[in-house]
Amino acid sequence: MADIAKTLPLKRSSVQSAHERIKQHIHRTPVLTSTTLSNLASTPQTQESLIGTPFEGQTPAHPKINFFFKCENYQHIGAFKIRGAFHALSRLSEEELSRGVVTHSSGNHAQALALAARTYGIPAHIVMPTISTPSKIAATQGYGAKVYFSGSTSDEREAVVKDVIKDTGAVLVPPYDHPDIILGQGTMALELEEQAAELVREDPTLSVHHNQKEGMNGHVNEVDSTHNSSPSRLDAVIAPIGGGGMLSGIATALHGTGTFVFGAEPSFEGADDARRGLAAGKRIPTVKTLTIADGLRTPVGEIPWTIISDKSKLRGIYAVTEEQILAAMRLVLERMKVFVEPSAVVGLAMALYDEEFRHLVEKEGGEKGWNVGVVLSGGNTTVEAIGKMFAVSEQKGERQEGKMGAQGEKVAENVAG
Amino acid sequence: MADIAKTLPLKRSSVQSAHERIKQHIHRTPVLTSTTLSNLASTPQTQESLIGTPFEGQTPAHPKINFFFKCENYQHIGAFKIRGAFHALSRLSEEELSRGVVTHSSGNHAQALALAARTYGIPAHIVMPTISTPSKIAATQGYGAKVYFSGSTSDEREAVVKDVIKDTGAVLVPPYDHPDIILGQGTMALELEEQAAELVREDPTLSVHHNQKEGMNGHVNEVDSTHNSSPSRLDAVIAPIGGGGMLSGIATALHGTGTFVFGAEPSFEGADDARRGLAAGKRIPTVKTLTIADGLRTPVGEIPWTIISDKSKLRGIYAVTEEQILAAMRLVLERMKVFVEPSAVVGLAMALYDEEFRHLVEKEGGEKGWNVGVVLSGGNTTVEAIGKMFAVSEQKGERQEGKMGAQGEKVAENVAG
C-alpha cells in the first residue's frame, strides 16, 4: 500500500482529490428523503419506551429531525467499501500495481478489492477464513480474485497474507487503517452535501431551513453561527463506526463546513468500543462481540482514532441496542422499501431512539430542527438472515417492536421515491 | 362512481388525460436498471432447471433481455393502486364527492382510496373482513378512513357496503372493474416510456438499440417493422395480472405504440385464470387460490377482460410457479436491494424462467435483444412474512433456489443506483 509518509494530508481538499480519482469507477448513489421516517424521528418516544434507560421518568425529547439518506447499499458490491479500494489502487505506482494486491477479509472489503483489482486488470489475492459463508467466497471469486483459506484468528490470517506477499510481491491493502482508504470512504460525504443541495433546489420544503421565518410559535429560530447559511445545509451527518475508515473519512471531508459529524455503533457485548474509548480518553484495541451489525464488530483502527478523538472533527458517538437496530431495520425495509443490512441502520436507530442525541437536537435545532444526513452503508444480507433476525426478536416478545409500533402508527405517509 | 356510460373511451389519449389529472398527487416513481438482472435474464437456464416442464430435453432459450424496472413500490401507500383511486375521485362531481366514497378491500386499494379521500377532504368508508391483519386495519384508519367490519365472503362484504351506501349515500369505488380505475393505473406506462427515454438519453448504452450495427456476429439485426424506431423504445412491457386493472390500463396506454404488452400471473392452485381464460376463449369468473402473490388471487374483472382478450392490445400471458416467484423476489431484494412484495415480481419471474416467453424474445429480438419494461407493482409486506416464505422454501429443499443459484453465480455486478 502507498507509504503512509507519502499520502495526502487528512483534510477536506484531499477527499476532493480522492473523489476526482475514483468518481469514474463508483456509483453516485442516490440520496433519498422519507416523510414517514422524518415524522417518526420528530415524534417524542413514549415514556414507557424509556423504562430501563438513564432517561426513565424524564420527559422524552421532542426534536425536529429531517433525514437525507445516502444509500450506499446501491453502491457497486452493495456497500461503500469500493470507494476506499479504488482510491487505494489509484495511488499505487505502475510497478506496485503490476505486483497485484492482497488483503484478508471475509466481508465487503474482500469483494471491493477484488472488483477494483479486476477493473485495474491486476491480480487480487484475498485471504478468507475457511469458515466463511460459501456465497461470500463465491462472490469474491466471481470478481476474479484468487481466494486463499486460513484459520479464523488474526494471527492465522496474517500468516497466510505474509506467505502471499512473499510468493507474489503483492501490495497489502488494509480494510480501514490507512489514509488512502479513509480519504476514499470520505468521498460519500461530498456527494451527500451536493445531492441534498440539489434536492432542496428542486423542492425547498425538503429542508428545515427553507423558511427562516417559520416556527411552531411564529418565533424566528436562531441558527448556530458556526453553521453555514445555505438553506440546504446539513446540520449533522451520522455514520456507523466499526474500524472507523468511513466515519473518519466523513469527519475529514466535512471538517470546517459547519456540519457536525456523529458516529453510531452497537452496544451489544461491548461493540461500542469507540464510545467507550472516547469516554476513557484512550483507544480500545480489541473487541469481541457478535452484534447483528456484523460489519461493526471491529475495534477502531489507529489512524481513524486520531480523527474521531478530535473534538473539532467529531461531535460525538452514541450506541444503540440490538432491538433498536432491528426496529430501525424494519422501518427502512417495510416503510422506505430499501433493502439494507443491520450495520447500515445504526445511524438511523441513534436518531430515532437515543435520548441524549435527541435532546441535543431539540436544544440546538429548536423549533426549526436539523437536517440530518444518515449513511445507509450497505445492503449485503440475505432473506434467510432477515427471517432469523426477526424470528428471534419475535420469540423475545418483541418488546422493542411494541414500543416502536406505538410511535409508528402516528405516521402513514409513504417514502418519496 | 362515475357512470360507466359517461367515462372516457379506453384509449391512450384517455390515459394521458388521466395522467394530467392525477400527476400532482402521485409520485413519479423511479425507473431502475440492473446489469446483474439483465445479464441473468440473458443467460440460458440450465437443462436441469427445465426438468418437469414442457421444455425438458430441449435447448434452453438464449434471449437478450435488458430490463427497465418501474418501481411502484415507491408509490404513495407502497403500491400503484393510488393512481386509480385518485383518478376515480377526479372524475366525480362536487355533489358526489360531498357524499364520500366506499369500497371493500383488505389490501392496497383500501389504503389507496383512504389516502385519496383524505387528500380530497371527503369521507372514506372501507369495509374490511374482521380477519384482516391488524396492521392493515390500522394503516387504513391512519389515513382517516372509517373502517367497517364484515365476514370474509363476497356476499357478506357487499351486504355491509350496501348498508353504508344506504346510510351515507357514499359512492362506490371498485378496485379494478371500472374504466376510471383502468385509465388511472395505465398512467404508469406513460411515465415508464418517458423515463426509459430519459435514462437512454443520459447513457445510450442502457438501450439494446443504441447501436443498430452492433451484433454478436457483426450482423445487423432486423427490427420488427411494427416497432417505433427510437433508440430508447421499449420492445415489451410486462405487468402482473390479478383483477386486471393495471394490466389493461397499461395495454390501453401502449396500444398503437409498437410496444408489446404481456401479463404475468401465478400458476398455483389455478391462479392463472387469465391465461386459462384466454386459452378457452372465455373469462373465468372465480378463482380460489392461496398463492404467495396475494395481490393476484382475484379473477380478471369484466372490463379488464375486454382489453386483455384483444390480441391487438395484449400479446400474451404467462404463468410462473411459487418457487419462481420466490427466486425472483430473492434477486430483487438481495441483488437490487429493492424491497418488494411477492405479487410485484411475477413479471420478472416470467422473463427469467418462462421458456416460451424467452424463446419468443430470442426469435424476435435476435442478437440485439429486447428492452423490456417490468412493473414492480408494490412493496407492502413484512420482515416476518419474508422470513416465513423463505423458511418454507428452505424446508422444501430449495430446489428452485439451487437451480437459480447456478445461473446467479455467473454475474457479480451490482445494480445501478
Q: Which long-range contacts (CB under 8 A, 24 or more apart) does B55-63 make?
A: B55/B355, B55/B356, B58/B355, B60/B355, B60/B358, B61/B355, B61/B358, B61/B359, B61/B361, B61/B362, B62/B362, B63/B358, B63/B359, B63/B361, B63/B362, B63/B365, B63/B369, B63/B370
Touching B: A residues 93-122, CB under 8 Å: 115
Does A390 sit within 8 Å of B414, measured CB to CB? no
A154: confidence class by pLDDT, cuts 50, 70, 90 = confident
Q: What local confidence, expressed as pLDDT, does residue B4 receive?
A: 73
Could you say which of B138, B334, B412 has the minimum Cβ distance to residue A383?
Answer: B334
Mutate to test the interface with B, among A119, A147, A334, A394 (most CBs of B within 10 A): A334
Would the CB atoms of A340 and B340 count as touching at under 8 Å? no
pLDDT at res. A150: 94
Contact of A414 with chain B, judged by CB distance below 8 Å, is answered with yes
Q: Which of A9, A7, A23, A29 is nearest to A378 (CA)?
A: A29
Distance separating alpha carbons of residues B87 and B249, to the nearest angstrom: 12
- In this model, does residue A399 exceed pLDDT 60? no
- Percent of chain A residues past pLDDT 90, beyond the cut: 81
- Neighbour count for residue B365 (Cβ, 10 Å): 22
Query: Is pLDDT at B84 greater than 80 in this prediction?
Result: yes
Lookup: cell for A314? 467529531
Mean pLDDT for A339-345 is 97
Whether B3 has its CB under 8 Å from any CB of chain A: the answer is no
Q: Closest to A337 (Cβ–Cβ): which among B73, B139, B391?
A: B73
pLDDT at res. A136: 84
Q: Chain B residues with CB inside 8 Å of A115's CB?
A: 412
Tell me, what's the ipTM?
A: 0.88
pLDDT at A395: 63
**What type of residue is B325?**
I
Lowest mean pLDDT among B7-16, B149-158, B324-333, B350-359: B149-158
Test the B interface: residue of A199, A337, A409 with most B CBs within 10 Å: A337
Average of pLDDT values for B82-94? 97
Q: Which among B299, B309, B198 is positioned nearest to B241, based on CA atoms?
A: B299
DSSP string, A15-41: HHHHHHHHTTTS----EE--HHHHHHH
Name the residue among B90, B328, B73, B373 with its Cα closest to residue B238. Answer: B373
Neighbours of B223 (CB within 10 A): 18
Instruction: Say which of A339, A388, A416 has its CB closest to residue B333.
Output: A339
B139 touches chain A (CB under 8 A): yes
Residue B340: closest C-alpha in chain A = A337
What is the model's pLDDT at position A404? 42
Residue B222 clears pLDDT 50, i.e. is over it: no
**CB-based contact B235:B370 (threshold 8 Å):** yes
Give the chain B residue whose CA is nearest to the CA of A339: B337
Q: What pLDDT, on a 0 to 100 scale, did the predictor assign at position A396?
A: 60
The answer to whether the CB atoms of B381 and A417 lie below 8 A apart is no
Q: Of the ranges B221-225, B245-249, B407-411, which one carries the lowest mean pLDDT score? A: B407-411
A29 contact residues in B (CB cutoff 8 A): 417
CA distance B301 to B247: 11
In chain A, which residues have their Cβ closer than 8 Å to the Cβ of B381? 334
| pLDDT score of B227 more than 60 | no
Asked if the Cβ–Cβ distance from B383 to A387 is below 8 Å, we say: yes
Sheet holding B316-320, edge to edge: B31-32, B65-71, B370-376, B236-240, B260-266, B316-320
Angle (CA) A339 A343 A347, round 5°: 95
Q: Does B401 touch chain A (CB under 8 A)?
A: no
Q: Decide if B58 touches A, using CB distance below 8 A.
A: no
Chain B residue with the nearest C-alpha to that of A406:
B138
At B388, list the grid cell.
416465513
Per-residue pLDDT tens digits for A241-293: 999 999 999 999 999 999 999 999 999 999 999 999 999 999 999 999 999 99
User: How many beta-carbon pairs below 8 A join chains A and B?
Assistant: 111
Residues of A annotated as catalytic (active site), given as ranges:
81, 106
Q: What is the predicted pLDDT for the residue at A211?
A: 74
**Predicted confidence (pLDDT) per residue in A197-239, tens digit:** 999 999 999 999 987 544 444 344 444 444 567 888 999 999 9
pLDDT digits (tens, 9 = 90+) for A24-50: 999 999 999 999 999 999 999 999 999
From A226's Cα to the closest Cα of chain B, the distance in A is 34
How does pLDDT run across A7-22, given as a tens digit for each residue?
Answer: 999 999 999 999 999 9
Residue B36: which pLDDT band, with cuts at 50, 70 and 90? very high
pLDDT at B280: 97
Give the one of A142, A384, A416 whose C-beta lies nearest to B409's C-beta.
A142
Q: Is B414–A78 a contact, with Cβ atoms under 8 angstroms apart? A: yes
Closest residue in B to A387 (Cα–Cα): B387
| B30 CB-near residues (< 8 Å, 6+ apart) | A417, B71, B74, B195
Helix/strand/coil for B240: strand
pLDDT band of residue A4 (cuts 50, 70, 90) is confident
Residue B397 has pLDDT above 60, yes or no: no
Domains of chain A listed by start with CATH number: 4-79+178-408 (3.40.50.1100), 101-169 (3.40.50.1100)
d(C-alpha A9, C-alpha A28), whole Å: 24
Yes or no, beta carbons of B29 and A409 under 8 Å apart = no
- Residues from chain B contacting residue A334 (CB–CB below 8 Å): 339, 381-383
- Is B313 an active-site residue? no
Q: Please, what is the average pLDDT of chain A? A: 90
Q: How far apart are alpha carbons B379 and B71 in whole angstroms?
A: 9
Contact list, B388 vs chain A (CB under 8 Å): 387
Structure confidence at residue B396 (pLDDT): 60
**Range B186-195 average pLDDT:** 98
The model's confidence at residue B212, banded by pLDDT at 50, 70 and 90, is low
Would you state the pLDDT for residue A95? 96
* A116-138: average pLDDT: 92
Question: What mean pLDDT is predicted for residues B275-281?
Answer: 97
Task: Give me the pLDDT at residue B355, please.
Answer: 97
Nearest-by-Cβ selection for B71 from A340, A411, A417: A417
Measured between CB atoms, does B339 come within 8 Å of chain A? yes
CA–CA dist A200, A188 (Å, integer): 18
Distance from the B8 Cα atom to the nearest Cα atom in chain A, whole angstroms: 30
pLDDT one-digit tens code per residue, B316-343 = 999 999 999 999 999 999 999 999 999 9
Task: Give residue B145's pLDDT band: very low, low, confident or very high (50, 70, 90).
Answer: very high
> Which residues numbered 261-320 in A keep a CB inside 8 Å of some CB on B?
none
A74 touches chain B (CB under 8 A): yes
For residue B90, what pLDDT band results from cuts at 50, 70 and 90?
very high
Most A CBs within 10 A among B71, B140, B331, B384, hence the mutation to make, goes to B384
- A382 inside 8 A of chain B by CB: yes
Rounded Cα gap, residues B68 and B199, in angstroms: 10
pLDDT attached to residue B393 = 66
Which pLDDT does position B133 carry in this prediction?
80
B417:A75 CB<8 A: yes
Arithmetic mean of pLDDT, B40-50:
96
Q: Can you list the positions of beta strands (E) in B85-242?
A: 101-104, 124-129, 146-150, 171-172, 236-240
Chain B environment of A74 (Cβ under 8 Å): 337, 414-417
pLDDT tens, position by position, A348-386? 999 999 999 999 999 999 999 999 999 999 999 999 999
Interface check A416 vs B, CB under 8 A: yes
Report pLDDT for A394. Answer: 64
Average pLDDT, rounded, for chain B: 90
The band of B368, judged by pLDDT with boundaries at 50, 70 and 90, is very high
User: Does residue A334 surpass a pLDDT of 70?
Assistant: yes
Catalytic residue (one of B106, B232, B267, B343): B106
CA pair distance B126, B165, nearest whole angstrom: 11
Please report residues of A whose CB lies closer than 8 A to that of B30. Answer: 417
Q: Is residue A342 a contact partner of residue A293, using CB atoms and an 8 Å limit? A: yes
* Whole-number Cα distances in Å, A36 to A65, A369, B185, B287: 11, 16, 24, 36
Measure A111 CA to nearest chain B CA, in Å: 10
Residue B389, burial from CB neighbour count under 10 angstroms (0-12, 13-18, 19+): buried
Which three cell numbers mark B80?
400503484
d(CA B133, CA B128) in angstroms, rounded, equals 10
Subunit contact A409:B382, Cβ cutoff 8 A: no
Higher pLDDT, A407 or B196: B196
List of chain B residues whose C-beta atoms are within 8 Å of the C-beta of residue A389: 383
Interchain contact A28–B (C-beta under 8 A): yes
The verdict on B384 touching A (C-beta cutoff 8 Å) is yes
Q: Do B334 and A382 touch (CB under 8 A)?
A: yes
Residue contact B387–A386, C-beta within 8 A: yes
Distances from the Cα of A339 to the Cα of A61, A99, A331, A335, angstroms: 29, 37, 10, 11
Say if A336 is an interface residue toward chain B (CB within 8 Å). Answer: yes
Closest-CA distance, B310 to chain A, in angstroms, reads 34
